[in-house]
Structure 1
Amino acid sequence: MINLKKNQSIVRSEEPIAVVGGGEIGPEDLNLALIRVNAVVAADGGAIPLMDSGRMPDAVFGDFDSLTSAYSDRIPADRLFPVREQDSTDFDKTLRSVEAPLVLGIGFLGGRLDHQLAVLNTLVRLQDRPCILLGEHEVMFHAPPRIALDLSPGDVVSLFPFQQVTGRSRGLEWPIDDLVLEPSGRVGTSNRALADVELEVDEPGLLVMVPREALDQVMQAFLSEQTGRWTAREE
């Protein structure tokens, strides 16, 4: 049973939680997330599809410019956490307000490209907050120091650096050993698994995309505590 604690506008959980955004959500996305968690938090307008599905959010964060009164009036006041500043996105406001071993985010990929880029920026900046984003065809996450996944031969494994990174790999058709990956140089998109894949990276900043069907594999890897974690970034 999950124990949610609210302290200084922070939701803490000892189990994985889901975070729902107001972007594109596929017909099975909510069910896929909700059967894997016990608690769900909304980023501003993400409360709308969540409530339309019959689920009341355990907390809502954001500037509330997308959450109409028809919905906010139905949410208990102690579950609403307005963050009025305009210097960050609702995903940023929510992810930095949540402490959990893992966050599963839906409603953040797809739709406007500028929104997606802002989400990916947050995913990399908040490097101490493990989060998996669910897309239409893939799941995406910020690579931890190390991760091992039991993928099928031929599965697409795309690597995109948001800053200069180096590392090592096993089980990829094109290994990353001895390579320098950087956003304005070499990237690692459209790589493929040959067998079980192992990645080890030397610094934060690498985004990983694997097939949507690998969601449970990725969740189990993060929850195994064998991936390591990055410390919070110094601002």
Structure 2
Amino acid sequence: MKALLPLCKTRVAADGGAATLLRAGAMPDAVIGDLDSLPASARAQIPAERIHHIPEQNSTDFDKCLRNIAAPLVYGTGFLDPRIDHQLAALTVLAKRANRRCILAGTEDVMALSPPEITLDLPPGTRFSLYPMGPVRGESEGLRWPLAGLDFAPQHRAGTSNETSVARVSLRFEAPLMLIILPLAQLPALASGLLSAPEAWPARG
């Protein structure tokens, strides 16, 4: 998380994530969630006007944050490690909020939902994985194994353990359902690609 702090002028905590920010020496600009995991000791350190209680239980704290943040790009940390159920819930939110450009950073990997088109500048031989959150078809240039209009779906075909064959990779997808997964060191390249993408997916209800 400390590596992300300099990149983010505004720091929003998802519920108990506020305690993690405070331990890192950063005061949250906002705390959003149902507040069931925010320690009283942490809450006492945060100005009351920065705490936003959303009590409904039909969405995760990550979803509550992402749908209420207006920013060109959101970085999320603490959602990929260590619990697999929390990871899966976070990936569902990425697909649900496809109009929000967001990167999740873990200890080994970074991931984001691909926009309709994206170009990434990466060293040849970079591990490059794609995982579908539903039925989706795509095209690519610059991958060792091109997508070539193949049909992807969680129960049918994934695109994991691919790699880059040249220094620039271009992707196009027909639906907001494909996750891009890269090594953590490629976070700047993923951020640049998302910010430079010509369009985003439209908001869904």
TM-score, normalization by structure 1: 0.84
Instruction: Look up the SS of the partner of 2:36 in the other structure.
Output: coil
Tell me the equivalent position of 1:100: 71
Show CA shifts across 1:75-113 (max 9, x none).
Answer: 111100001111111111111111111000011101111
Query: One-letter code of the match for 1:216?
Result: P
Cα distance in 2, alignment partners of residues 94 and 141 from structure 1: 16
Residue 169 of structure 2 aligns to which amino acid in structure 1? V
**1:192 matches 2:163:** yes
| SS of residue in 2 equivalent to 1:39 | coil
1:200 partner letter: R
**How many residues are paired up?**
204
Q: Is the 8 A contact 1:169 1:199 kept in 2?
A: yes
**Structure 2 equivalent of residue 201 of structure 1:** 173
- Indicate if the aligned counterparts of 2:2 and 2:24 stay in contact, CA closer than 8 A: no
| Structure 2 partner of 1:215 | 187
Pairing partner for 1:141 from 99, 112, 128: 112
The residue type paired with residue 85 of structure 1 is E
1:70 — aligned with what? 41
Give, in angstroms, the shift of residue 178 of structure 1: 2.1
Q: Of residues 155, 171, 181 in structure 1, which corresponds to 2:126?
A: 155
1:181 equivalent to 2:152? Answer yes
| Paired residue type of 2:4 | A
Aligned equivalent of 1:23: none
TM-score by length of 2: 0.96
Conserved? CA contact 1:106–1:134, under 8 Å: yes
1:90 aligned onto 2:55: no
Q: Kindly report which structure 2 residues correspond to 1:16-95, keeping only aligned pairs within 5 A, or say none.
A: 30-95=1-66
Contact 2:118 2:193 in 1 (8 A): yes
Query: Separation in 1 of the partners of 2:101 and 2:121?
Result: 19
Q: Report if aligned partners of 1:221, 1:227 keep a CA contact under 8 Å in 2.
A: no
Secondary structure in 2 aligned to 1:35? helix
Contact 2:15/2:36, CA 8 A, preserved across alignment: yes
Gaps of 5+ in 2: none
Secondary structure at the aligned position of 2:91 is classed as: helix
Quote how far apart the aligned CAs of 1:126 are. 0.6
**5+ residue gaps, structure 1:** 1-29
Equivalent position to 1:123, from 91, 94, 114: 94
Q: 1:60·1:81 contact (CA, 8 Å) conserved in 2?
A: yes
Name whichever of 213-222 and 35-44 sits farther off.
Answer: 213-222
Report deviation, 1:150. Answer: 1.2
Amino acid at match of 1:199: L
| Deviation >3 Å, runs of 4+ | none
SS at match of 1:157: strand
C-alpha distance in structure 2 between counterparts of 1:191 and 1:222, whole Å: 20
Aligned equivalents of 2:8 and 2:44: distance in 1? 25
- State percent identity of aligned pairs: 46
CA distance in 1, matches of 2:9, 2:53: 23
Q: Once superposed, what is the RMSD of the aligned Cα atoms?
A: 1.0
Residue identity in the other structure for 1:109? L
